[in-house]
Amino acid sequence: MRIIFRADASRVMGSGHVMRLSVIAEEALSRGIACVFVGTISDLDWVQDYVKGIGFEQIIENFDCFEINSKNDILIVDSYILDPSLEIIQRDNWAAVVSINDEMTPEFDADLRLIPGLRDAGEHEHNTLSGADYILVRKSITKKVTYSDSSGVPRILS
C-alpha cells in the first residue's frame, strides 16, 4: 500500500491544506506506510522545508510523471482549486480516494470524506466522518488542558 497526498500551498491560499495532510502523512510514515506528496508549494520556503522533512518517498509537483497502482494506491486530497473532474483523481484510478472537506471544498468523487472541526456536521452519508473525534492534531502536541467557557463550548489549551 502507498498513500498519495495531494495539496497545494502559496502565500495567497495559505498552507492549511498541506498542514492538514501532513498530520495523516506523519502517522502513516510512523507505521511504515510509503507516502508520496503531490502538489505545488509557492513562495513558502518554510512549508517546502517542512514537507521535505516529513519523510515522503517522493515529492512531485503534478501527476505527469507519476505511475498509479490502482490496486494499492490511496489518494488523499485537500484542495479548493483542483478540478474534481480531472481524470487522474477519479476513483477508478485508485484503490480508494479520501477527501478532506470543508465548506469551500469542491465535490470530489471520494470513498470517504473527512470534515475536520469540533462540531459534528450532523447526519451524513455513510462515508463521511466529522466532529471532535476526527480533528487532525499532531502527535507532538502533548500537553492539553480542556475546559469550557461560560457558553459551554469546549476549549483546548496547549
Residue of 45, 66, 46 lying closest to 57 (CA atoms): 66
| pLDDT tens for each residue of 83-134 | 999 999 999 999 999 999 888 889 999 998 888 776 666 655 668 777 766 6
By DSSP bridging, strand 145-148 and strand 128-130 are unpaired
> What are the residues whose beta carbons fall under 8 Å from the beta carbon of 84, sequence distance 6 or more?
106, 107, 108, 109
Q: Is the pLDDT of residue 12 over 60?
A: yes
Residue of 2, 42, 36 lying closest to 21 (CA atoms): 36
Indicate the SS3 state at residue 108: coil
The strands making up 2-6's β-sheet, listed across from edge to edge, are 58-60, 34-38, 2-6, 73-77, 96-100, 112-115, 128-130
> Which one-letter amino acid corresponds to residue 61?
E
Q: Is the pLDDT of residue 144 over 50?
A: no
Helix (H) or strand (E) run with residue 71 in it: none
| pLDDT tens for each residue of 37-83 | 999 999 999 999 999 999 999 999 999 988 999 999 999 999 999 99
Supply the pLDDT for residue 118: 67
Mean per-residue pLDDT over the chain, rounded? 84
**pTM of the predicted model as reported, rounded to 2 decimal places:** 0.81
